């Protein structure tokens, strides 16, 4: 563990990130000055184990830092979140892939499990090939972690449970090809392009995908990995929603609606919408951090996180993202015609907030999975 304060570092970087937000949006990738500032600050290494040269930042503290970066710019916050998530994933690596990351100075680790390619034994190692989606940060990553289906004779090999066997591997930037595919509604600056791989790697670099038995011993890695991924999305949503609320307050102070003689802030309906949005964000944050803290306490006490608490953590993350989008909607509609212009900060917040909610870890199906657990039934493993 380190005395690194990522929240203070994030707040210090907010002016620079905000100043480059338009460049990030236009370029559909994080602006270079922002990448380098985040790298220098150590924020990209929050999730990386101390044994690998990282900060091994407790989950709650990392969430606050992600929220602060997302408050400055949603796309920057998403990139920080992805680096945190993937660095936590790196805590499950063993062997050559782990050593590759450990050998680097201040590495930015990103990755994707979406639409895994294939990996097949060949002379001298494994041939890994295919196309992966949602490679957030792929333009600036020093390492890309990927999952691939183990094949033999071109056909997937099935495990004992009847599902295809997955291997994981850490790839260098020179071993992947980033494809220009990220043309989307919101979070445009995340650089979440597809990427392709077609190369042979040493056999010792590939190992079975395992997200339940971490190599690193700390609570950051004992915390269920999919739950970590989910709550980190909540932190991004909280930052975007806060940005929307503050942007609306600036509008309400100055805007005098047509047919009115007083500022927008004087209207009771506007005051109610603002208060409602603030309540949504504060309560969503409280639920998220409460469940994370409870899970962390269990791990520190040497106990695993019980199924019901794990369900509540996933519920808090899913509900946080959905509720934050609702808070942004309130501010967007309260600003009326002002909000539809690209020059208005609310316009980007509106788009970004709804794209956060598209991630698989916080889909509406999670409500059903949580409800099953709360009723004493086993969860749907397809979303758990």
pLDDT tens digit string along 255-290?
887 677 678 898 999 999 999 999 999 999 999 999
Confidence (pTM): 0.95
pLDDT in tens, 109-118: 999 988 889 9
pLDDT in tens, 167-216: 999 999 999 999 999 999 999 999 999 999 999 999 999 999 988 899 99
What number is the average pLDDT over the span 300-316?
A: 96
pLDDT of residue 263: 82
Pairing verdict, β 143-152 and 155-156: antiparallel
Strand partners, 167: 148, 208
* 143-152 vs 166-171, strand pairing mode: antiparallel
Question: 162-191 burial, b if ≥16 CB within 10 A, otherwise e?
Answer: eebbbbbbbbeeebbebeeebeeebbbbbb
**What per-residue confidence (pLDDT) applies to 1?**
46
* pLDDT tens digit sequence for 333-379: 999 999 999 999 999 999 999 999 999 999 999 999 999 999 999 88
Instruction: Give CA–CA dist 268/290, Å, rounded.
Output: 33
Q: Which domains does the chain have, with CATH numbers?
A: 6-90 (1.10.540.10), 109-208 (2.40.110.10), 223-374 (1.20.140.10)
d(CA 266, CA 288): 33
Average pLDDT of the segment spanning 55-78: 98
Kindly state the percentage of the chain with pLDDT values over 90.
89
Report the distance separating Cα 330 and Cα 322, nearest Å: 13
Question: How confident is the model at residue 211, as a pLDDT?
Answer: 83
Mean pLDDT value across the chain: 94
């Amino acid at each position: 563990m380190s005395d690194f304060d990522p929240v203070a570092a994030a707040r210090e970087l907010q002016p620079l990130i905000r100043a480059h937000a338009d460049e990030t949006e236009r370029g559909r990738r994080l602006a270079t000055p922002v990448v380098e500032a985040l790298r220098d600050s150590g924020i990209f290494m929050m999730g990386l184990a101390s044994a690998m040269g990282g900060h091994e930042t407790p989950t709650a503290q990392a969430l606050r830092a992600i929220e602060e970066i997302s408050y400055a710019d949603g796309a920057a916050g998403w990139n920080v979140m992805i680096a945190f998530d993937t660095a936590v994933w790196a805590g499950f690596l063993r062997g050559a892939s782990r050593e590759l990351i450990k050998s680097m100075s201040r590495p930015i680790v990103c990755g994707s499990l979406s639409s895994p390619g294939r990996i097949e034994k060949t002379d001298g190692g494994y041939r890994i090939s295919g196309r992966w989606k949602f490679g957030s940060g792929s333009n600036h990553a020093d390492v890309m972690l990927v999952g691939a289906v183990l094949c033999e004779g071109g056909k997937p090999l099935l495990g004992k449970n009847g599902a295809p066997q997955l291997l994981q591997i850490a790839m260098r930037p020179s071993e992947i090809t980033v494809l220009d595919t990220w043309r989307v509604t919101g979070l445009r600056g995340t650089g979440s392009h597809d990427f392709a791989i077609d190369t042979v790697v040493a056999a010792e670099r590939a190992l079975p995908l395992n997200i339940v038995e971490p190599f690193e011993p700390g609570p950051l890695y004992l915390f269920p990995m999919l739950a970590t991924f989910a709550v980190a999305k909540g932190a991004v949503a909280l930052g975007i929603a806060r940005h929307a609320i503050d942007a609306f307050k600036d509008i309400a102070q100055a805007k005098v609606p047509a047919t009115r003689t007083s500022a927008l802030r004087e209207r009771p309906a506007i005051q109610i919408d603002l208060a409602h949005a603030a309540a949504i964000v504060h309560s969503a944050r409280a639920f998220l951090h409460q469940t994370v803290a409870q899970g962390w306490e269990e791990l520190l006490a040497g106990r695993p996180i019980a199924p019901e608490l794990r369900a509540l953590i996933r519920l808090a993350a899913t509900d946080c993202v959905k509720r934050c989008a609702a808070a942004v909607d309130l501010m967007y509609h309260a600003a009326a015609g002002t909000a539809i212009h690209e020059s208005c900060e609310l316009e980007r917040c509106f788009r970004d907030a709804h794209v956060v909610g598209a991630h698989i870890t916080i889909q509406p199906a999670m409500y059903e999975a949580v409800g099953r657990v709360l009723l004493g039934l086993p969860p749907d493993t397809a979303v758990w």
